[in-house]
Amino acid sequence: MEFGIVELSRLQFAMTAMYHFLFVPLTLGLSILVAIMETVYVMTNRPIWRQMTKFWGMLFGINFALGVATGITMEFQFGMNWSYYSHYVGDIFGAPLAIEGLMAFFLEATFVGLFFFGWDKLSKVQHLVVAWLVAIGSNFSALWILIANGWMQNPVGAEFNPMTMRMEMTDFFEVLFNEVAQAKFVHTVSAGYVTASVFVIGVSAWYLLRGRHAELARRSITVASAFGLASAFSVVLLGDESGYDTSLNQKMKMAAIEAMWETEPAPAPFTAFGFPDQEARETHYAIHVPYVMGLIGTRSLNTQIPGISDLVAQAETRIRSGLVAYDALMTVRAERDATPPEVMQTFEDHSADLGFAFLLKKYVDDPRQASEAQIKAAANDTVPTVWPLFWAFRIMVALGFGFIGTMAYFFWRASFRQMRYPRWALHVAVWMIPAPWIAAEMGWFVAEFGRQPWTVDGVLPTAMSVSALSMTEVALTLAGFVLFYTVLFIIEMGLMLKYIRKGPFQDVAETEAWVARHHDRLAGRRNADAIAQPAE
């Protein structure tokens, strides 16, 4: 593969997006866990829950800062590096991004300041509401960005307008209720909840191993394991495989993930292990589990899952249809209002395949001049590289089942074994901390790399989407981002570790001072005794 501006731009996008997603899942989950802890505090008035809220809230804040900082890049780099993409689909893709700002970013960002600065300025219930608004805001932002991303995977509710040379929205509600987007949203926020649960359990386990802050750690594990167990089931069972039958390209992604070279009789077997060979279109040393693939992929016993070879043949048909659309488009553009109706009709009949004709732009300037060999090559290009998808997906799924097991075990110990945990389990929990991040990054890799060669499935090829920039410019910014992000990551990890090592001592002291200050005020209240009690 030659390395040009397209590849360099993709590398920059992948780097900045995956880096951003190091912080997002923890924000999604920890915001809710902190709000749950504060809810328990407000309901029971036990100071220990206030300490927990403040301690985990502090770690949330350190993480949140980098989530915000790296998210800014995401909002602007479509225009910077993918200007043709922005022009071509901005009419649809821009809307959820703007709504995300209006509905989610303002909410979380306006109240996150008050969460940290408002302890003495708000009543307890007011502060609790603020905590929940931050959590809801964070989760809303996931909803809207996944509606945007879901549209790239399954572009519904839009059609091409030859007058403006771009896709335009025809039905907002189709974009909103896109089944791929909905599935992705549930899957992604669940992944965030699992991440935060694993993090909270891991850090608490480390305290228990050191014999520190046992009260805080035990309660934290209880909350996180209950929340984490539900989320782990959700992330695996409601994985975003639903919706993989919606379009040719989604089918191709699934076939690539499963290394299914040929269509198998339903229900297809699942390849648990093997070495996919793109050239020969076969998987070496494959271990098959009968029926499982058909069941997961189609939720039925008799629906066939098409294999890669069949899908390539379909792509070739669509390229030929796309060429008819492209030819008609040239007339429409030249004649504008004077276009003969039969040409307009031809264009409308074939415009759904226009994107497939664009696949040929990689080989010839005018797709209509493409040779048979080039058409075959372009059809072949619709197959993403199989082996990284195959492996990334399997690592993600294995980790997913691992989370269910871990969460179930901790939930059982918390519920039925007096919150006592054997040392080996605590060690496992500590070592488990990086696992959800690996799973989440693998998941995004599968979703985005599996969509290649398209930015918008079947509509716009990646190669056409880039800005007309020089290699130097993109190389400079890529180097800048790498440098910046590395320094910030080191600083963030340093602070995170510092505050974890330090533990909640300050939160304990601060809470005690706070309780003393407010003792008189609270003395007349119903739960005054509970407040005045020491943290057990």
Partner 1 sequence: MILHELLSYDLLRVIWWGLLGVLLIGFALTDGFDMGVGALLPFTAQTDVERRIVINTVGPVWEGNQVWFILGGGAIFAAWPPLYAVSFSGFYLAMFAVLACFIVRPVAFKYRSKRDGFAWRNRWDWALFVSGAAPALLFGVAVGNVIQGVPFHFTDDLHTIYEGAWYAKFIGLLDPFSLLAGVVSLSMLVMHGGAWLTVKTTGEVQKRARAYGSIAALVAVATYALAGVWLAYGIGGYRIVGEVAANGPSNPLYFQVERTASWLSAYADRPWIAIAPALGILGGLLTFAGLRAGREVTTLLFSKLAILGVISSVGLTMFPFIMPSSSDPRSSLTVWNSSSSHLTLFIMLVVTVIFMPLILAYTAWVYRVLWGKVTAKDVTENSHSVY
CB of 131 to partner 1, least distance (A): 14
Cis amide linkage into residue 267, ω under 30° from 0: yes
Q: Does 418 bind partner 1 (CB under 8 A)?
A: no
91 vs 245, which CB is nearer to partner 1? Answer: 91
Return the axis-axis angle of helices 47-81 and 505-523, rounded to nearest 10°: 120
Q: Could you give the 3-state DSSP secondary structure of residue 278?
A: coil
Q: Which of residues 319-358 bind partner 1 (CB under 8 A)?
A: 333
Cα–Cα dist 215/204, whole Å: 10
Cα–Cα dist 332/325, whole Å: 10
CB of 343 to partner 1, least distance (A): 18
- Spell out the residues 6+ positions from residue 321 whose beta carbon is closer than 8 angstroms to its own: 350, 353, 356
# residues near partner 1 by CB under 8 A: 80
Task: Return the residue of 4, 43, 44, 161 that touches partner 1, per CB under 8 A.
Answer: 161
Q: Which of residues 15-34 bind partner 1 (CB under 8 A)?
A: none
Cα–Cα dist 212/204, whole Å: 9
Q: Which of residues 488-527 bind partner 1 (CB under 8 A)?
A: 488, 491-492, 495, 498-499, 506-507, 510
In the chain, count of helices (H) and strands (E)? 22, 6
Cα–Cα dist 271/42, whole Å: 51
CB of 125 to partner 1, least distance (A): 14
CB of 231 to partner 1, least distance (A): 27
Cα–Cα dist 182/114, whole Å: 31
> How many CB atoms within 10 Å of residue 514?
16
CB of 163 to partner 1, least distance (A): 4
Q: Which amino acid is at 462?
A: T
Task: Return the residue of 6, 99, 266, 532 that touches partner 1, per CB under 8 A.
Answer: 99
111 vs 454, which CB is nearer to partner 1? Answer: 111
DSSP for 185-218 reads HHHHHHHHHHHHHHHHHHHHHHHHHHT-SHHHHH
C-alpha triplet 53, 207, 436: angle, nearest 5°:
75
Task: Return the residue of 122, 209, 430, 522 that touches partner 1, per CB under 8 A.
Answer: 122
* Segment contacting partner 1 by CB under 8 A, of 109-117, 218-226, 247-255, 284-292: 109-117
Task: Return the residue of 165, 287, 289, 490 that touches partner 1, per CB under 8 A.
Answer: 165
SS3 track for 242-266: CCCCCCHHHHHHHHHHCCCCCCCCC
* Segment contacting partner 1 by CB under 8 A, of 227-235, 252-260, 278-286, 472-480: 472-480
* Segment contacting partner 1 by CB under 8 A, of 268-276, 302-310, 443-451, 477-485: 477-485
**Closest C-alpha to 388, from 433, 440, 447:** 447
Q: Could you give the 3-state DSSP secondary structure of residue 165?
A: coil
Task: Return the residue of 10, 46, 166, 219 that touches partner 1, per CB under 8 A.
Answer: 166
Q: Which of residues 451-470 bind partner 1 (CB under 8 A)?
A: 467-470
Q: Which of residues 44-73 bind partner 1 (CB under 8 A)?
A: 61-62, 64-66, 68-73
CA–centroid distance for 20 within its chain:
10
CB of 508 to partner 1, least distance (A): 11
Residue with tokens 């048909």: 317
* Segment contacting partner 1 by CB under 8 A, of 341-349, 376-384, 439-447, 473-481: 473-481
Q: Which of residues 209-238 bind partner 1 (CB under 8 A)?
A: none
313 vs 476, which CB is nearer to partner 1? Answer: 476
Task: Return the residue of 31, 81, 197, 242 that touches partner 1, per CB under 8 A.
Answer: 81
Task: Return the residue of 60, 105, 326, 403 that touches partner 1, per CB under 8 A.
Answer: 105
Tokens found for residue 103: 């509905």
* Segment contacting partner 1 by CB under 8 A, of 168-176, 229-237, 376-384, 411-419: 168-176
Q: Does 109 bind partner 1 (CB under 8 A)?
A: yes
> How many CB atoms within 10 Å of residue 214?
13
Q: Does 94 bind partner 1 (CB under 8 A)?
A: yes
Cα–Cα dist 148/142, whole Å: 10
Task: Return the residue of 49, 119, 261, 270 that touches partner 1, per CB under 8 A.
Answer: 119
Q: How do beta strands 270-277 and 282-289 pair?
A: antiparallel
CB of 80 to partner 1, least distance (A): 5
Task: Return the residue of 279, 341, 472, 534 that touches partner 1, per CB under 8 A.
Answer: 472
214 vs 471, which CB is nearer to partner 1? Answer: 471
* Segment contacting partner 1 by CB under 8 A, of 113-121, 186-194, 272-280, 349-357: 113-121
Phi and psi, residue 268, nearest 5°: -70, 150
Task: Check if the beta carbon of residue 300 is closer than 8 Å to that of residue 292.
Answer: no
